[in-house]
A and B are shown apart, each in its own frame.
Chain A
Amino acid sequence: MTAAYHPGPADPSAVAHDATHGGAARGGHADDHAPAARHRHAWLVSIIGPASVALAFVVAVALFLAMPGEMTTPFIKTFFSWMPVGPELQINWAFQLDQLSMIMVLVITGVGTLIHIFSIGYMQDDPGYARFFAYMNLFVAFMLVLVLGSSFPVMFVGWEGVGLCSYLLIGFWFNDAANAYAGLKAFIVNRIGDFGFLTAMFLIWASVGSLDFTTVAAHAGSLTVGGPVVTTICLLLFLGCAGKSAQIPLYVWLPDAMAGPTPVSALIHAATMVTAGVYLVARTSFLFAVAPAASLTVAVIGAVTALFAATIGLKQWDIKKVLAYSTVSQLGYMFIGVGVGAYVAGMFHLMTHAFFKALLFLGAGSVIYAMHRAYHATHSHEDAQDMRNMGGLRRAMPITFVMMWIATLAIAGIPFFAGFFSKDEILGAVFQRAQGSTLAQASWLGIPGSVVLYVVYVFGLVGALLTAIYMTRLMLYTFHGPNRTGAREFEHLREAPWTMTGPIVLLGVLSAIGGAINLPAFLHLPTGATGILDRWLDPVVGAPALAIARGTTSELPSGTELLLVGLAVVIAVTGVLIAVARCRPAALVPKRDARPSEGVERVLENKYYVDELYDRVVISPVVGGSRFVLWKGIDAGLIDGLFVNGSAWLARGFGAVGSWLQSGQVGAYAWAFVIGVIAVLGAITFR
């Protein structure tokens, strides 16, 4: 059991065991330890929680079927006037339904339903069962407001709402201080990003006079291309994206967010909320298209994050931490896509990533669930999430094993799984933009844009190699080789119930065939079978993408494109082979017997000590300054001491003088009167 956060799912034996052995707090309330039985309304919550999201998915499908693909104007439904601030600012509470929001709505409600169903099994005996589903439902509601909002302020309501739910769910088992702090960390880091979002909104209103997406888009053409205003707006918006979507330098909250229950990691911190930043860039593509420096910044930060996070993922032992850094890395790929103006490619990877990363997290949850039950059956206190304590699980959990391999091949970019198509489209777009686009002709910090884009492409390729390595490593250490859980424990390891394996299988199917939604032209399939997502999103993001590509719709020459695809495949396969050659599950020892890592491995295992660096450079000075300057100096010294206590002392002093003068002795009053008269006469005489 890790000290950092609660390791896994709840079950009655686990609760009893923790309570007996003084283990980590499980429930959210003081009395959560007492009952080891299921929540008294568990059956009702099991219906309400998933059904409310499933019904939303049914509505989403109906909307999708009603929406004509060639629809060129968004459907805007206004409900009421929200902020009528004079004639200059009228903000309505309105939803915008178009092809872009439709994609997001389907992903949120579809994947959300599967994860809610999974949670029935995973959280079944947690005393906070109803609270968990309440937060999850609230999250889905806010996420839908975020993607449906027709203006920046409405979107911001959803943006903040999902942040609140993320905080509540990271710290779901808040009796453990580490979990509570992880939630707090996420909340505070996201506020830094929100500062960017809010300031961008103010600037947009000041320069355009509206905050509706349609109105701002209509005025985007009047903004100076590459001008300081639009560039600043886009950079501030991207600051918000970096916070929400965990990009450098604001990525540090996401790995710690794994403190929450695993379904939370799957839904909020992999498939949906963390992709809100990518959605925001795509939604405001009309602004980014006229801000090449800002777009290049998005692509560069995405590329650096993709590579940086992938290197950390190479040496993590906690199965959820590997997936967390993988998510940070894959979000980097999405930002590369939308940064170079390949908005469809970015959204395509957002979709496929939602499938295979949700599957990987749910699969990891299934593994942790089994490990946890096995350890509790034998009253062991080993770490249920450390891969060094796993191994050989394919024999005990064949369904999870097969499905997680499908997701691994998809994320690694192995043909013809979903991730292969989306990642290849992003890298191809980067190469194409480097050869000719407004971005290639712009400069970034004095460096020619084309050079920047080629570097981004190389970073993307190296990141793909590392992705294949760390994911194969995860699979080898978890499912292959001999089992390291323990002989007695292994007898208790078994596949999770159908409520958990069912969603995993469905996500496995989507991870395998999800790429069909946007097959590339080089496959030479019949017209209509390729580029489905390209055509679907063209009315929304087609023009900005075209503007960045300088009006050229031509793709890369067929030979060049096939060469790039071949290179990507070779890199992905090489990554898998390197992992197979280097990672030897048979030589691995359980965590308790492992030697501390040294050198580069130690640096990677400790995540480049970035948290420690932030603590020294940012947190400690801010806390120290707050404590000694703001608190003890200004608050206690100046305000409490000088203003509050000082005025009291002054009043008391005047009172003391007054009470001394008011002695009641007539003689003293006469003397005072005489002295006063003499003083007045003296002043008149000698003036």
Chain B
Amino acid sequence: MLLQHLAGGAMSNPLAGTIAERVWLLPILPLIGFVLNVCCR
């Protein structure tokens, strides 16, 4: 089945309510590293 054909909302997804809600952590963590390293310069 073509996954993208089904524009499923977050609430109907098996990942809803799991750690996937914190997916924003992925880019934020290295971004924090960037900011701190700039401060260390």
Contact = CB atoms under 8 A, between A and B. Distances in A.
Contacts of B34: 52, 134-135, 137-138, 141
Given A75-B13, A141-B34, A144-B30, A41 B40 contact: yes
Contacts of B15: 66-67, 71, 75, 97
A66 B17 CA distance: 11
A547 B10 CA distance: 28
A74 to B, nearest CB: 6
B33 A130 contact: no
Given A73-B6, A138-B31, A542-B1, A60 B41 contact: no
B2 A543 contact: yes
Contacts, number: 154
Nearest to A215: B7
A41 B6 CA distance: 50
Contact of B22 (A49, A59, A130, A215): A59
A133 B32 CA distance: 12
A662 interface: no
A214 B19 contact: no
A137 B30 contact: yes
A347 interface: no
A289 B32 CA distance: 39
B19 to A, nearest CB: 5
Contacts of B37: 45, 48-49, 130-131, 133-134, 137
B3 A138 contact: no
Nearest to A283: B4
Nearest to A544: B2
A134 B4 contact: no
Interface string A501-545: 000000000000000000000000000000000000001101110
Given A41-B40, A53-B33, A75 B20 contact: yes
Given A45-B40, A141-B30, A74 B3 contact: yes
A289 to B, nearest CB: 9
Main secondary structure on B side of the interface with A: helix
A659 B13 CA distance: 83
A75 B3 CA distance: 11
Interface stretch (A76-84, A608-616, A639-647): A76-84
Contacts of B8: 73-74, 76, 214
Contact of B7 (A62, A79, A135, A214): A214
Given A73-B13, A540-B4, A95 B33 contact: no
Interface string B12-35: 111110111111111111111110
Contacts of B6: 72-73, 214, 218
Interface string A197-212: 0000000000000001
Contact of B30 (A66, A95, A130, A140): A140
Contacts of A41: 40
Contacts of B21: 77
Nearest to B9: A76
B41 A134 contact: yes
B10 A75 contact: yes
A52 B33 contact: yes
Most central of B2, B10, B13, B25 by chain A CB within 10 Å: B2
Contact of A48 (B13, B23, B28, B36): B36
Interface in A179-226: 212-218, 221
Q: Of A60, A63, A75, A142, which is in contact with the most chain B CB atoms at under 10 Å from its CB? A: A75
Nearest to A140: B30
Given A286-B4, A543-B1, A79 B33 contact: no
A162 B23 CA distance: 19
A79 B10 CA distance: 12
A407 interface: no
A657 interface: no
A134 B38 contact: yes
A166 B5 CA distance: 34
- Chain A CB within 10 Å — which of B3, B9, B13, B36 has the most? B3
A217 B27 contact: no
A44 B41 CA distance: 11
Given A44-B40, A68-B14, A542-B2, A148 B22 contact: no
24 contacts: A52-B29, A55-B29, A66-B19, A67-B15, A71-B14, A75-B13, A75-B15, A75-B23, A76-B8, A76-B9, A77-B24, A98-B3, A134-B34, A134-B41, A137-B34, A144-B30, A145-B27, A212-B7, A214-B8, A217-B5, A218-B4, A218-B7, A286-B4, A543-B1
Given A148-B27, A217-B2, 20 more contacts: A51-B33, A56-B27, A63-B20, A72-B3, A73-B8, A75-B10, A76-B8, A77-B21, A105-B26, A109-B26, A137-B33, A137-B37, A142-B27, A144-B30, A145-B27, A212-B7, A214-B7, A217-B4, A218-B6, A221-B5
Interface of A: 39, 41, 44-45, 48-49, 51-53, 55-56, 59-60, 62-63, 66-68, 71-79, 95, 97-99, 105, 109, 130-131, 133-135, 137-138, 140-142, 144-145, 148, 212-218, 221, 286, 539-540, 542-544
Interface of B: 1-10, 12-16, 18-34, 36-38, 40-41
